[in-house]
Structure 1
Amino acid sequence: MEIGENNLLKFNFISKNFEVESCSNYHLSVELSVNFFRYAVLDPNTMKYLIIREYFIEIKNANQLSNKIVSIINSDEFVKRNFYSNTISISSTNCIVNSSGQTTDNEKLKMLELETDVHENIKCDLISHNDSVLEIIYSIPNSINNLFNNYFNNSSISCSDTILIKNYLNELNPLPSLKIHICYDTIYITYFYNNEVIFHNKFIFKSEEDILYLILNTTKQLKISREKCAFKISGRVNKLTNSLLKDYLGEFTVEKSKIENTDSSKFKIVLNQII
């Protein structure tokens, strides 16, 4: 690995059970944001992670970001190998959750234009739920789309919101619930009522106090009754965050990430549907 890219490598887990010659039997998960590029290699037979690598980057420009990721990929000795299957999730893009039925391409464009910046490639993930279909609508720049096509052309692509909502829907009960997922500088907040997605959004935060404000403000705006709604929090919940939330929210559940089956508990992210 080149020295420059090695300096960006902030987390590096390689299991003693990993065998390079067996990559064609493994699943590759890639996650991309403006802050990081990370990937995990999973053995589908044991459902154990064999490699987890995370590169931290701070680039907002899409072209510069794609160039930096190409440099990382070219210098990494594992991610370019041929895997049995692979998936990609995108964490930095804003999205629209539409529960009103499937829409045309023009309708998707108009919905995005009302809420966020629109890039050249409009994507739509579909989630089947309660005899209906949820649309997760988002867009990605050409440079990032070309990167995926050049290096991971057989991958399925989805945004992180889709993965999160899918996992939530698999575990729902009829009671109202507010699901909160904390991932580095982003907090995802999703409200369910009668097993339906009522609200979903994500916010950038800079401090634990921001997390508390965003949760309290959301509950106020949605008029959520604290006594009748279950609060469930997952992701990076440190001691200060936990203490602040207890002081203001009272009772809530901290959900352990399903993917924490490595030798380290520092790596807490949502990766893909295979988990």
Structure 2
Amino acid sequence: MREPDDAPKRAPARRAAARRGPLTYVLRLIVIAYLFFLIAWPLYLVGQNAFKDGFGAMRDVLTDADTVDALLLTVQIAAISVVLNTVFGVGISLLLVRYDFPGKRVLNALLDMPLSVSPIVVGLALTLVYNGRSGWFGPALEDAGFQIIFAVPGMVLATTFIALPLVIREVVPVLEEVGDDQEQAARSLGAGAFTTFRRITLPAIKWGVVYGVVLSLARALGEFGAVKVVSGNVLGSTRTATLAVEEKYLNFDKDGAYATSFLLALVAVAAVIVVSIFKPKGKR
């Protein structure tokens, strides 16, 4: 009997199915249990405690002026940080993939430092550089009318530093995969650098950029350590939502802390889910 024309395509799937055994399902169970107890269950408990008395805690949070100011400041800082990291992240990605230059490996290694250095250390380092009294650049900046530490600019710097590698690490693999053949063809036909980027490069890396933006947004919304050091935690001025969560929890307002935490987690999780839903199937 003659095999169907797609038999060669089905052969790898049949071999993979044949290799499945009890160990495969045990490993899957371990991974699912690990993710459940590490991620899903804690997030569920936050939501459960936020709504254990109905919508009262959430209503109190959304009608409290100080908490609303903290949430708005968090969104503002996160938005600025995401824009900065997107622009510079795409530029640095192009530099790493499309060009060879001395010190390239060193630069590539330095870009991962925000993932390995404690946020507290980041905050202290920024303070040493931009402190208005003893920092390297702080006194000169304050003389010019710019306060960095214990002000919003320092909080933006800290948040941007922490989320720096996320766009780059999403875009670099995509650039390496698509190559530069189409870009060279466009340049050979007379297209300028900006036109080539807008018409060729950007559409090719679009979903890498989107995922990098989502990860940067989630990271920026949840930043605590570095922001705590450089902000001063002044009520109504430099207190972000994560600092408000700590303040509420320490002041025995656990319902308010859970409700604020739930809002932050909801935005981050919703962003990831929306991107996953609307991303084309071939890109998932």
* TM-score between both structures, scaled by the size of structure 1: 0.22
- Which of structures 1 and 2 has the bigger CA Rg? 2
Structure with the bigger RCO (C-alpha within 8 Å, sep 6+) is 2
Give 1 or 2: higher strand fraction: 1
Give 1 or 2: higher helix fraction: 2
* TM-score between both structures, scaled by the size of structure 2: 0.22
